[in-house]
Amino acid sequence: MSKNAVTYFLMGIMFILPYAVLATAVPALSVFWAEEFNKELFEFLYNMTFVLSFIVSFVELATAIIGIILSVIAYKNEEVKRFPIVRVIYFILCQGLFSVGTFILSFLTVHAFTYGMGI
């Protein structure tokens, strides 16, 4: 597998990864809004959503760093001849945007529609 294919794979992972937070956020919302509220299960899913969002943000940062390194190496080895800077800009700018997206998904889906409704 070439460095070029790996960078595109990392770009795809960074694009999809923020939605991993929904794996615990949606069940937390369904438990909170259920007719029979299970506080222990909700607290577990609520906390796991925020733990997962921090893990996803860390993985996004790691993929961004690896992607930048691989893009620079591919450019140095002349494996990429057209627009190598676009990938570097993608990894630099999108890492921050996707981390913000992860935070917004975890905050808006869980906190704002559960405990935040009482404010």
pLDDT digits (tens, 9 = 90+) for 63-90: 888 888 887 777 776 665 665 677 777 7
pLDDT above 90 covers a percentage of the chain that reads: 13
Which residue stretches of the chain are H helix? 3-16, 22-32, 39-76, 84-106
Closest C-alpha among 103, 110, 108, 102 to residue 16 = 102
Q: What is the pLDDT of residues 24-60, one digit of tens each?
A: 999 998 998 888 888 999 999 999 998 999 999 899 8
Q: What is the pLDDT of residues 97-111, one digit of tens each?
A: 888 888 888 888 888
- pLDDT of 118 above 70: no
pLDDT score, position 117: 67
